[in-house]
């Protein structure tokens, strides 16, 4: 019944809308008529309840009316039609809806105060219109990665050999023991596929999680008069969203209010031209587009899957198969080693087949294996399959398929740890490229400083003002107008006794809080008293913003400007003194003002000036056609100095980068004196480097250099002040031309070209616009330069960890290849069986990669110069280390192969076990050597890497199990304590050998260059 009484109000609203000037009798008649009308309407509804209701206009003399009953919320609006109107940008149909105001009323939204915003209200809107999320394609399951792993050629070859080996083994030796060779290959294949699939699956999930974090954009909305930040996923239909330059439009909607709004719709239409949005011709805003200029408030009409962007994004999945440059180089290295392995395996195959078919091999009883036609076909096939399996196993141990796995593990691990260190990686290649960075071009505000701004100085005329009560009333009004109406920020206060909440950019918040708390500005009253006529929004090129406004019952227009002090000063021809009198500004007084600005800037203050001009309304109407504000002959109102302290620890972070051979340059839009003061405080400049030094330059000066001058001076420049985004881009291009690997930080929309041009683009997570974030490779979540230094350290760590594993892996490959090849050629048998080689390959590829790929950054990494991108992946130091260790293992193991039986007084089976055990333990000890490529103390910091110690322990335990308990499976014999001690002693020599070999100097010329003709 409550629904029945509630609905149909649209039909009777004109009747209920009583004029206030009716007489009392008229009012009574009107109320009586309303009561009769309502009763008849209710009676009609009850009589028609079994019929389908439909909406009819109220007839002139109705005997009854049919009301449209819609018990659900927001029933007065057809949301499907509204969604289509915005998507199709149909202005005429929007007018049929009652225009923007009609839509806002239907959505129960106040144009000024927004929605109620209570939990129930938001839940009701989500139920009625949906949430602002879109369906993603289902994530790839583990099975997908298992199938991908099966496509590896090496795996296919192993399976091809394992099947006949298993069949013939069972036929020859029975199911109980005949499955060992073939089964072991299947087990190895299963383990390799499992590790590879699980690793890739986890990395894919990590990318999905990072994608969710990066898509969780913060949006400014107005709810119940209060401007607040919420997640983009919490935006609902009816919300009033505040947009500024660089923002992403979070949903489909309509333009409510704003100025000079232009959006980049290239993400949805492909057109690069900016589209102007206004309430008269094109009020339609589409989700996924970016604000290119101006600011506005929009009314959300569709969210999530009801938007064009939602439909499009639901079909797109992030590609996690990005191959980094390092992975490409490793693939090339793996391919080269694989080819060498194939050659060796083919030679071993030929030698073993020749020896078998010429009768030079014997079985376990000392009988000749092949005896012409007397040998059974089954025996021949079994022997051939065994020989092929041995050759294939050599291929497996030769191909370092653990290298791609090591890179995947390293990158995945470093990405996870960097996330904890306030750096979110968007592009994998940035992890490793950062290790090669030679120059970092950083912003000042928020990166080197705290971005906690406060007005600390205020000048009226040429006098500093400490007490606001001394300011004349007229001048105070002008200041308040210039602050309240020329801003993109806002002020909110819940009750008269509660604290103020300020929103907007840090600079805007600092000025607003100063004006409200110290000048007693009441923003709401000023906004009501004045009408905004035209706005020129602030951007990083103009470095100023302006507004023209008219006051009710006045025939004059006020123009207010606010911005960089020296730029506003250049537009002024007069000024107000402290008493409020206007005075002409001559050259001497202009010089005085310039000195005041310089003094404030030298004290690390950001200087903002306010200026004003009053013009007749007729003159403004003439100028209005050009849509340009008055910029000449302004009157300077006053100057404010805003303090933004340096971040704690930023000086040390800068010094760490400089010590690591990375040059730090500061590029800022601030005054040259402010820039120099902050740069000196942060350690970028020495105290003796003044503004006349080549280390400090203004953007305009740099821009006006000839190309030759720029190339000559760019290395010397440490600070660029008053720079535009184009200047930043120009500097990045010059540095890259000189061979630098450049990392750039940026937060604004106009920083996008420089972020894209740089080798590594670093955007700011807090102050950064969505455009800047999209163009970057890494997002610095806390906007802190110390996090940039951490990213640098991790970049070097990634490269270093991969080099460690390459050295370790190649030592195993070289030793195994040479031992098996020499033994096969000379003795006709392979000392390391298929099962043993697969075991070595497995523990070295997977456990070794896991142990070395998860080493954390050390201080030593920042003591080296940046990695040169053209530097060989395997350095001379690595060649020295791995060749000496491999040579030692080859000598020892071949000695055991040919003299082991007589040295230890054991049979051939025990000798082969000794070779296998010594070989594995050598790799375990050599894993410690691989931790440090250059440093002699390989145990430094080992207690901090619990994972490494755990993997070493697991490897040793598994080796004991293989030798002592899986004798038949691994084709081994149990060893006594003395034999175990001998194996450990031989393997332990790797440590002193590693220490000695690091004393040998190496040439800087790449080792492989000596092999070229």
- Is 457:641 a contact under the CB 8 Å cutoff? yes
Q: Pseudo-torsion of CA 828, 832, 836, 837, nearest 10°?
A: -90
Tokens standing for 454? 């406060």
Tokens standing for 173? 């030796």
DSSP 8-state secondary structure symbol assigned to residue 394: H
Provide the strand spans (E) within 372-450: 423-425, 439-442
CA distances from 638 to 470, 471, 475, 590, 607 (A): 14, 11, 10, 13, 10
Name the 3-class secondary structure at 572.
Answer: strand
* Furthest CA-CA distance within the chain: 130
**Closest residue by Cα to residue 180 from 957, 972, 831, 975:** 972
DSSP 8-state secondary structure symbol assigned to residue 488: S
Dihedral of alpha carbons 362, 363, 368, 374, sign = negative
Give the whole-angstrom CA distance, residue 223 versus residue 396: 64
**Closest residue by Cα to residue 603 from 666, 667, 676, 683:** 676
CA distances from 426 to 106, 249, 329, 520, 753 (A): 41, 21, 21, 46, 17
Interacting residues of 691 by C-beta distance below 8 A, sequence separation 6+: 672, 673, 676
Type and span of the H or E element at 588:
helix 587-602
DSSP 8-state secondary structure symbol assigned to residue 634: E
Catalytic entry in 252, 443, 644, 727: 443
Residues 802-836 as b or e (16 or more Cβ within 10 Å = b): bbbbbbbbbbbbbbbbbbbbbbbeeebbbbbbbbb
- Is 48:66 a contact under the CB 8 Å cutoff? yes
Between helix 377-398 and helix 153-177 the angle, nearest 10°, is 130
H-helix segments, 606-724: 617-624, 650-659, 672-682, 699-704, 707-713
- Is 209:860 a contact under the CB 8 Å cutoff? no
CB neighbour class for 88 (10 Å; exposed up to 12, middle 13-18, buried from 19):
exposed
Query: Rounded to the nearest 5°, which phi and psi values hold at 937?
Result: -85, 95
Strands 218-223 and 226-231, by their bridges, are antiparallel
Q: Pseudo-torsion of CA 877, 880, 882, 885, nearest 10°?
A: -140
Beta bridge partners of 114: 110, 223
Strands 454-460 and 634-643, by their bridges, are antiparallel
Name the 3-class secondary structure at 559.
Answer: strand
Give CB contacts under 8 A, 24+ apart, made by 875-878.
875/803, 875/933, 875/1006, 876/1002, 876/1003, 876/1004, 876/1005, 876/1006, 876/1007, 877/933, 877/934, 877/1002, 878/803, 878/806, 878/807, 878/933
Q: Pseudo-torsion of CA 529, 534, 537, 538, nearest 10°?
A: -70
Angle at 851 between CA 845 and CA 857, to 5 degrees: 130
Dihedral of alpha carbons 334, 338, 340, 341, sign = positive
Interacting residues of 952 by C-beta distance below 8 A, sequence separation 6+: 851, 924, 927, 928
443 is catalytic: yes
Distance spanning both ends of the chain, measured CA to CA: 97
- Residues with a known catalytic role: 443
């Amino acid at each position: 019944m409550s629904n029945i009484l509630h609905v149909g109000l649209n039909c009777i609203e004109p009747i209920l809308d009583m004029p206030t000037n009716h007489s009392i009798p008229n009012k009574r008649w009107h109320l009586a008529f309303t009561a009769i009308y309502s009763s008849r309407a209710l009676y009609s509804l009850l009589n028609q309840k079994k019929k389908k209701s439909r909406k009819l206009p109220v007839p002139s003399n109705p005997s009854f009316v049919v009301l449209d009953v819609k018990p659900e919320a927001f029933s007065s609006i057809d949301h499907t039609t509204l969604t289509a109107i915005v998507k199709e940008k149909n202005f005429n149909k929007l007018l049929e809806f009652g225009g923007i105001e009609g839509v806002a009323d239907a959505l129960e939204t106040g144009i000024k105060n927004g929605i109620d915003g209570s939990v129930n209200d938001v839940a009701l809107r989500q139920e009625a219109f949906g949430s602002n999320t879109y369906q993603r394609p289902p994530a790839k399951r583990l099975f997908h990665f298992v199938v991908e792993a099966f496509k590896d050629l090496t795996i296919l070859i192993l399976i091809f050999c394992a099947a006949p080996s298993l069949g013939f083994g069972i036929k020859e030796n029975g199911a109980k023991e005949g499955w060992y060779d073939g089964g072991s290959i299947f087990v190895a294949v299963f383990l390799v596929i499992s590790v590879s699939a699980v690793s890739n699956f986890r990395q894919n999930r990590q990318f999905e999680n990072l994608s969710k974090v990066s898509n969780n954009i913060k949006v400014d909305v107005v709810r119940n008069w209060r401007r607040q930040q919420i997640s983009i996923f919490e935006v609902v239909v009816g919300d009033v969203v505040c947009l500024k330059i660089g923002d992403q439009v979070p949903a489909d909607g309509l333009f409510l209010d704003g100025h000079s709004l232009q959006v980049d719709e290239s993400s949805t239409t492909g057109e690069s031209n900016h589209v102007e949005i206004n309430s008269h011709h094109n009020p339609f805003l589409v989700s996924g587009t970016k604000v290119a200029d101006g600011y506005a408030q929009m009314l959300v009409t569709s969210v999530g899957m009801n938007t064009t962007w939602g439909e499009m994004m639901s079909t797109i999945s992030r590609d996690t198969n990005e191959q980094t440059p390092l992975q490409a180089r490793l693939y090339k290295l793996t391919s080269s080693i694989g080819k060498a392995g194939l050659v060796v395996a083919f030679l071993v195959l030929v030698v073993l087949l020749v020896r078998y078919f010429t009768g030079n091999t014997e079985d376990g009883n000392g009988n000749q294996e092949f005896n012409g036609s007397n040998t059974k076909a089954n025996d021949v096939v079994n022997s051939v399959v065994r020989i092929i399996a041995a050759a294939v196993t050599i291929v497996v141990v030769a191909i370092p398929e653990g290298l791609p796995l090591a890179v995947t593990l390293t990158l995945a691990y470093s990405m996870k740890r960097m996330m904890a260190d306030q750096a979110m990686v968007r592009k994998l290649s940035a992890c490793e490229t950062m290790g090669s960075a030679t120059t970092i071009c950083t912003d000042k505000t928020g990166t080197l400083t705290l971005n906690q701004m406060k007005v600390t100085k205020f000048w009226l005329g040429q006098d500093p003002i400490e007490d606001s009560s001394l300011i004349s009333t007229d001048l105070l009004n002008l200041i308040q107008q210039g602050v309240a109406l020329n801003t993109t920020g806002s002020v909110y206060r819940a009750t008269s006794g509660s604290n103020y909440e300020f929103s907007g950019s840090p600079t805007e918040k600092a000025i607003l809080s100063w004006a409200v708390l110290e000048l007693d500005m009441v923003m709401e009253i000023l906004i009501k008293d004045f009408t905004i006529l035209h706005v020129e929004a602030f951007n990083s090129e103009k470095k100023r913003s302006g507004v023209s406004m008219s006051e009710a019952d006045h025939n004059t227009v006020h123009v207010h400007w606010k911005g960089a002090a020296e730029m506003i000063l250049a537009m002024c021809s007069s000024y107000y003194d402290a008493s409020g009198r206007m005075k002409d500004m001559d050259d001497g007084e202009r010089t005085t003002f310039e000195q005041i600005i310089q003094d404030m800037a030298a004290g690390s203050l950001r200087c903002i000036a306010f200026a004003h001009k009053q013009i007749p309304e007729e003159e403004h109407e003439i100028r209005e056609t050009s849509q340009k504000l008055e910029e000449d002959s302004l009157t300077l109102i006053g100057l404010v100095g805003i303090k933004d302290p340096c971040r704690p620890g930023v000086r040390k972070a800068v010094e760490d980068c400089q010590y690591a051979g990375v040059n730090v340059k500061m590029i800022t839009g601030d005054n040259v004196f402010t820039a120099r003061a902050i740069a000196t405080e942060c350690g970028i400049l020495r105290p003796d480097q003044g503004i006349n030094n080549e280390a400090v330059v203004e953007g305009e000066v740099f821009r006006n250099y000839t190309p030759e001058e720029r190339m000559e001076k760019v290395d010397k420049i440490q600070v660029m002040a008053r720079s535009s985004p184009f200047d930043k881009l120009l500097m990045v291009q010059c540095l890259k031309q000189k061979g630098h690997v450049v990392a750039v930080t940026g937060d604004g929309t106009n920083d996008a070209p420089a972020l894209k041009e740089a080798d590594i683009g670093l955007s700011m997570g807090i102050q950064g616009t969505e455009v800047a974030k999209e163009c970057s490779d890494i997002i610095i979540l806390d906007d802190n330069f110390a996090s940039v230094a951490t990213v640098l350290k991790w970049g070097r760590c990634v490269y270093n960890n991969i080099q460690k594993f390459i050295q370790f892996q190649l030592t195993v490959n070289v030793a195994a290849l040479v031992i098996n090849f020499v033994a096969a050629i000379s003795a006709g048998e392979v000392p390391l069986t298929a099962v043993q080689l697969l075991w070595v390959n497995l523990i070295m590829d997977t456990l070794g990669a896991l142990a070395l790929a998860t080493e954390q950054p050390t201080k030593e990494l920042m003591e080296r110069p940046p990695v040169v991108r053209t530097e060989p992946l395997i350095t001379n130091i690595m060649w020295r280390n791995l060749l000496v260790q491999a040579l030692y293992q080859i000598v020892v193991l071949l000695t055991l192969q040919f003299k082991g039986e007589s040295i230890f007084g054991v049979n051939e089976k025990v000798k082969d076990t000794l070779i296998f055990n010594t070989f594995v333990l050598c790799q375990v000890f050599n894993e410690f050597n691989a931790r440090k490529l250059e440093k002699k103390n390989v145990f430094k910091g080992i207690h901090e890497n619990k994972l490494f110690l755990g993997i070493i322990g697991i490897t040793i335990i598994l080796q004991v199990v293989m030798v002592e308990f899986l004798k038949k499976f691994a084709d081994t014999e149990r060893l006594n304590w003395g034999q175990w001690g001998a194996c450990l002693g031989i393997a332990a020599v790797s440590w002193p050998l590693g220490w000695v070999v690091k004393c040998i100097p190496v040439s800087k010329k790449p080792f492989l260059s000596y092999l070229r003709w």
